[in-house]
Amino acid sequence: MGFGLPDEIATVRVDAFKKAYPGVEVAINQGQFDEQAFLSAVAAGNPPDVVYLARERIGTYAARGAIQPLDACVAKEGIATGDFYPAAQQQVKYDGKWYAMPEFYNSIVLLVNNKAAKDAGVAPQDIDTSDWDALAALAKKMSKVSGGKIERFGFYPKLPEFLPLWAKANGADILTGDGRTSLLGDPKVAEALEYGDRLVRSQGGWTRLKAFVDTFDYFGEQNPFAKDQVGAMLTEQFVVSAMAGTSPDADITVLPFKDRQGRPVNNVGGNAWVVPKGAKNPDAACRWIKTMTAADTWVAAARARADKRAKEGKVNIGTYTGNAKADEVIFSQIVKPSGHKAYDDAVTVIRSVQEAGFVVPQSGAAAEFTKAWQDAATRVLLGRAKPAESLRQAQEETQRALDDAGHS
């Protein structure tokens, strides 16, 4: 459940499992993860054996007992958990136990539209997000508004979604490492949100800009970079990967997002495999999870992707897995320079920010926590509340939810 077979990255790994365990019948209920369907299945006592979902949800489900710990599975099958990136490991653990195994490892980078930078009189590679005043000035210069109509979003800070990243760039965490104490009330978080809000306000205001970005199609040939609709934006690397397929000659530059001290910051995420409570074949589920996330399987999948893109004459920027050991092989042996400098440089940048990856610590109230800070940021962007008071409210809401959840 939650998984699909849209491409070779999926099919190659599924075939690897079928070959290794011919006795196990695999039935994939394709389609996006649907919380309602999942929880109803668990409640009815008839869940799928294994489910594929976003890692940030794990804490909530673990605390509710909807998914089971995998410690026994890890021990029995000898899953090499040490191969996973540390941030990915942290995100699939709750209360000191493994509850999932990570799939992809999505990094956040700064994607620059070179034309917009040049229009603003700046060399794209000189853009540096550590200087907030300069960044605000650049955002304003790159944005184009005429008569209330947005023509180009100068710098899209990707708020409210990326608030944890902005907080980190300002040197603040939003939740303590043990997942028990909310830090949303930290003045540094408010400062980051205030800055982001100022960026948005100076470029035309949230309601207009949001309506504008709602029209974007990041994954098609008519993406906002091809259409010169955005100057620069923070985004997960998979947008770059998709653009490599659709717009190989795009005039773009990929840069690390730097904190105010000039160090790269990167809020990582991705999906994961979990075993629901009441799964009928936990052993097979465990083997499935092991196969899907193992270094060898990933390498085979990445090779298939590289071959396919090569055959189609398309650029391949590689497959960014949660498995560091697999990535070593993928990026030293499989991904070769494509001759498209923008994308070849992008690979180097994405690889370089991976080790700076951090996650918001897992908690039993992960869903409520996320909703509270997103609401808080939205209130500010809509001009309904000041950053400090809005985040203070979120601090109270989240602390109550954290105190209520799990930890019994």
Partner 1 sequence: MRRLRPETRWAYVFVLPWLAGLLVFQLGPMVASLVLSLTDYDLIDSPRFAGLDNYTRMAEDPKVARAIGNTVLYTALHVPLAIVIALALALILNRVTGRAAGVFRTVFYLPSMTPYVAVGVLFLFLLNGQAGMVNQFLALFGVSGPQWTTDPDWMLAGIVVMSLWNLGTTTIILFAALRNVPRELSEAAMIDGAGAWQRFRAVTVPMISSALFFVVIINTITSLQMFDQVYTMYFSSQTAQQASGDAALFYVVYLFQQAFQFLHMGYASALAWVLFVVIALITLVQVKVGGRLVYYEAEEHA
- Residues in 335-374 at the binding interface with partner 1, rule: CB under 8 A: 367-368, 370-371, 374
- The residues, ordered by sequence, that sit 6+ positions from 58 with a Cβ below 8 Å of its Cβ are 67, 91, 92, 94, 99, 100, 272, 274, 362, 366
CA atoms of 179 and 362, how far apart (whole Å): 6
**Residue from 168, 347, 379, 394 in contact with partner 1 (CB under 8 A):** 379
Task: Find the binder of partner 1 among 382, 389, 403, 404 (CB under 8 A).
Answer: 382
Alpha carbon separation from 59 to 66, 82, 125, 179 (Å, rounded): 10, 21, 39, 9
Told to check if 160 binds partner 1 by CB under 8 A, we report yes
Structure tokens at 296: 């060898």
Which of 115, 140, 198, 208 binds partner 1 (CB under 8 A)? It is: 208
Classified as helix, coil or strand, 297 is helix
Range 44-73, binding partner 1 (CB under 8 A): 64-66
* 9 contact partners, CB below 8 Å, separation of at least 6: 301, 302, 304, 305, 319
20's tokens: 């290794």
Q: Crossing angle, helix 132-142 and helix 187-202, to 10 degrees? A: 20
150 or 304: whose CB is closer to partner 1? 150
Q: Please, what is the Cα angle at 137 between 135 and 140, to 5 degrees?
A: 110
- Least distance CB 160 / partner 1 (angstroms): 6
> Which among 65, 67, 47 has a CA at the least distance from the CA of 55?
67
User: Whole-number minimum distance, CB 404 to partner 1, in Å?
Assistant: 12
DSSP per position, 21-42 = -TTSPP----S---HHHHHHHH
Rounded CA-CA distance 73/331 in Å is 29
Residues 263-282 that bind partner 1 (CB under 8 A): 277
Closest CA to 9 of 231, 262, 301: 301
Q: Is the CB of 163 or the CB of 252 nearer to partner 1?
A: 163
Residue nearer to partner 1 on the CB measure, 22 or 45: 45
CB 257 within 8 A of CB 110: yes
Minimum CB–partner distance for residue 197 and partner 1 (Å): 15
Query: Candidates 84-92, 249-257, 323-331, 379-387 — which segment interacts with partner 1 by CB under 8 A?
Result: 379-387
- Decide if residue 39 touches partner 1 (CB under 8 A): yes
Q: Is residue 161 close enough to count as binding partner 1 by CB under 8 A?
A: yes
Least distance to partner 1, CB of residue 210, Å: 4
Residues 98-157 contacting partner 1, CB under 8 A: 147-150
The nearest distance, CB 309 to partner 1, in angstroms, is 29
Binding region for partner 1 (CB under 8 A) out of 201-209, 260-268, 340-348, 353-361: 201-209
Q: Which of residues 352 and 374 has its CB atom nearest to partner 1 in the complex?
A: 374
Q: How far apart are CA 166 and CA 157, in angstroms?
A: 9
Task: Name the nearest CA neighbour of 267 among 122, 149, 158, 388.
Answer: 158
- Taking the complex as a whole, how short is the minimal distance between the CB of residue 212 and partner 1, in angstroms? 4
Q: 179 vs 276, which CB is nearer to partner 1?
A: 276
In the range 174-193, which residues lie near partner 1 by CB under 8 A?
A: none
Among the listed residues 21, 33, 35, 296, the single contact to partner 1 using CB under 8 A: 35
To which H or E segment does residue 167 belong?
helix 163-169
Select 35 or 173, whichever has its Cβ closest to partner 1.
35
Binding residues for partner 1 (CB under 8 A): 35-36, 39-40, 42-43, 64-66, 147-150, 160-161, 206-208, 210-212, 214-215, 277, 367-368, 370-371, 374-375, 377-379, 382, 384
